[in-house]
Structure 1
Amino acid sequence: MLSTLLIGLREGLEAAIVVGILVAYLVRVGRRDVLARLWTGVGLAVALALGVGAVLTFGSYTLTFEGQEILGGSLSLVAVAMVTWMIFWMQRAGRGLKRALEGDIDRALATSSLWGIVAIGFVSVSREGIETTLLLWSMVQSFGDAPSALLGALLGLALAVVLGWLIARGMVRLDLRRFFTWTGALLIVVAAGVLAYAVHDLQEAGVVPGPFSAVAPIDAATGAVAIGLAAVPFGWAFDVSAAIAPGSPLAAILQATVGFMPRMSWIQVFAWTGYIVVVGSFFVRGARSHRVVARVAGSAAPVTQGTA
């Protein structure tokens, strides 16, 4: 629940800020008459996200076990890619987001393309909607506790809507740059866990070599797949199932927060570590450079009006 609440809050607040910027600008330029079209686009984006979720949930039931594992692993990889792109996009473009959105509105109004307002609302929200749907679906598959995961996501989205409304009204002062930096760092850890589980799914399906395939090293003493250094690269890196039972509350918390599973293959460990090191390094470098720019520009004050 904690992990999906974070995702719902982060992605929902991004969407809420975008919608808040668009609504505030249309009101400021005296075009309340096209607000209905903007909300139509937002509604279509939400419907698309729900539709994607329904197709993934009910469509997977008709697949074989291998098909389900391949689908789950592949979509988890897509979700990780989208989350990674969105983290860096927000880090890079957040400061100019308000200006870019207002420019889109100006162009749509100047060309009398009022249905362009629908498209702006749709595109602005559908990106976060589909990304959130894929990531939540992947996490539900890996955690196996759909009610708690979905409840956390709904709580996060509800909190994001309330927080976005309060920010737009000027009732809450929030340093969005710092918020997105910290949540971005946490999302990198979450995405690394989703990546590790995607590898697990693909290994079970036989797409990626590992403990479930013929190339797995066998322990001569036990006849089971080897564990530890002797199992590199296609065996188990470790197995602490005796100390942390799979499916236990502790195992669920560790998997939801840091992507840890009681038994992980070497390729899972390599994927998790590589993602944290590579993506984390670029993220920290980008955060430091943005802080330097902020100091030079004298913009260290908390952001209150939908800019990051």
Structure 2
Amino acid sequence: MNVFLADGPSVGSQMFGSGLIGVREGLETGIVVMVLIAFLIKSGRRDALRWVWAGVAIAVAMTLGAFLIIHLGTSTISNLTAELIAGLASMVAVVIVTTMILWMSKASVHISSDLKSGLTDALVRGGPAVMGLAFLAVGREGFETALLMVGYAESVSGGLWPLAGLVLGVLVAIVLTVLIYRGAITLNFHKFFFWTGLFLILVAAGILSYGVRALQTYGWLPGIGSTAFDFSDHYDQSSWYGTLLAGIFNFRPDPTVLQLIAWAVYLVVVLALFVRANRRPAPKGLPAADTAAGADPASKAPATSDAGI
């Protein structure tokens, strides 16, 4: 079986969705690495850079390994068992990704200082401690990405096109990170993470819906025969909009009642928490309307401003 052959959503829509995930998660990871490298260079500790890169390499290998083991492992077992594993992986992915999105909304303003403080302590303890810090910092983002991609890939196809899109997205993120580091471009990180966070929430809602249906198919959840609505006769799933919506947001024209309830409740609750966490108080002397429009200078690059990047 050719793992690059995909049924259902088109290759383009699968790669587009996973590519956006790759850009978001890759840039988030790139910012972390940027802060560590800039701090070491400014501190005159270039000798410790090899330990940072070693930690990053191990974290990347762990991310790829986790994705491939879980994703490809489902192709060697029965369809029903694969549904169970995919459903459980989707649920775990939604929980972890949602937690990380909400955490990033609050932690972005002080993540740079936290990393620098941890790296200062690690430098005292030696190279392996620096490698461990880099591994944990990047590995946390990587593990989140791996679980998100497992849920996303399982929901759109059984092939590796979502992984290909992820790799392309990460490559774009690497280029953006280098350009930002060299001062060639500037990026409003608060706006970037806000809008991409909204996108990930919509993706996660689709993964949750897919996971619910998978567990219903296996029999762990009831209601597989209770369809909320069905307009399949008037909805062309093979059209450009059908493949796009299915490939990115896992939309289907015949969801079960439980799927629809889970999807709606998730969006209402998580979007409310996300928007609340991303509110930025207006600085003294600056109207709140200006802050909402992105006029808060501190929101420009909270993760790298202290690093001088």
TM-score category, normalised to shorter length: 0.7 to 0.9
Secondary structure, in 3 states, of the residue corresponding to 1:264? coil
Q: What is the RMSD computed on CA atoms of the aligned residues?
A: 2.2
Where does 1:149-164 land on structure 2 (aligned, <5 Å)? 149-164=162-177
Where does 1:1-308 land on structure 2 (aligned, <5 Å)? 1-110=15-124, 112-144=125-157, 146-211=159-224, 216=225, 235-246=226-237, 248-288=239-279, 290-292=280-282, 300-301=296-297, 303-304=300-301, 306-307=303-304
Moved over 6 A (4+): 296-299
**For residues 236 and 300 of structure 1, what CA distance do their matches in structure 2 show?**
47
**For residues 281 and 169 of structure 2, what CA distance do their matches in structure 1 show?**
28
Secondary structure, in 3 states, of the residue corresponding to 2:251? coil
Change (3 A) 1:163 1:146: same
Query: How far did residue 242 of structure 1 move?
Result: 1.6
Percent of residue pairs bearing the same amino acid type = 38
Change (3 A) 1:39 1:296: farther
**For residues 191 and 60 of structure 1, what CA distance do their matches in structure 2 show?**
20
**For residues 192 and 126 of structure 1, what CA distance do their matches in structure 2 show?**
24
**For residues 207 and 293 of structure 1, what CA distance do their matches in structure 2 show?**
51
- Choose 1 or 2 for highest CA Rg: 1
Secondary structure, in 3 states, of the residue corresponding to 2:110? helix
Change (3 A) 1:202 1:248: farther
Assess if the C-alpha contact under 8 Å between 2:71 and 2:154 holds in 1: no
Change (3 A) 1:205 1:3: same
Assess if the C-alpha contact under 8 Å between 1:143 and 1:252 holds in 2: no
Aligned partner of 1:220 in structure 2 is: none
Aligned residue type for 1:256: G
Unaligned runs of 5+ in 2: 1-14
Deviations 1:200-251 (A, max 9, x none): 111111111122xxxx4xxxxxxxxxxxxxxxxxx00111222224455432
Assess if the C-alpha contact under 8 Å between 1:168 and 1:306 holds in 2: no
Query: How far did residue 255 of structure 1 move?
Result: 2.3
Unaligned runs of 5+ in 1: 217-234
**For residues 292 and 87 of structure 1, what CA distance do their matches in structure 2 show?**
23
Assess if the C-alpha contact under 8 Å between 2:110 and 2:303 holds in 1: no
Secondary structure, in 3 states, of the residue corresponding to 1:196? helix
**For residues 254 and 58 of structure 1, what CA distance do their matches in structure 2 show?**
24
Deviations 1:149-168 (A, max 9, x none): 23321221111111111111
Aligned partner of 2:7 in structure 1 is: none
Aligned residue type for 2:167: L
**For residues 89 and 283 of structure 2, what CA distance do their matches in structure 1 show?**
36
Asked which structure has the greater RCO (Cα within 8 Å, sep 6+), the reply is 2
Q: TM-score, normalised by structure 1?
A: 0.86
Secondary structure, in 3 states, of the residue corresponding to 2:255? strand
Assess if the C-alpha contact under 8 Å between 2:207 and 2:249 holds in 1: no
Query: How far did residue 307 of structure 1 move?
Result: 3.7
Aligned residue type for 1:200: R
Q: TM-score, normalised by structure 2?
A: 0.86
Aligned residue type for 1:303: K
Aligned residue type for 1:207: W
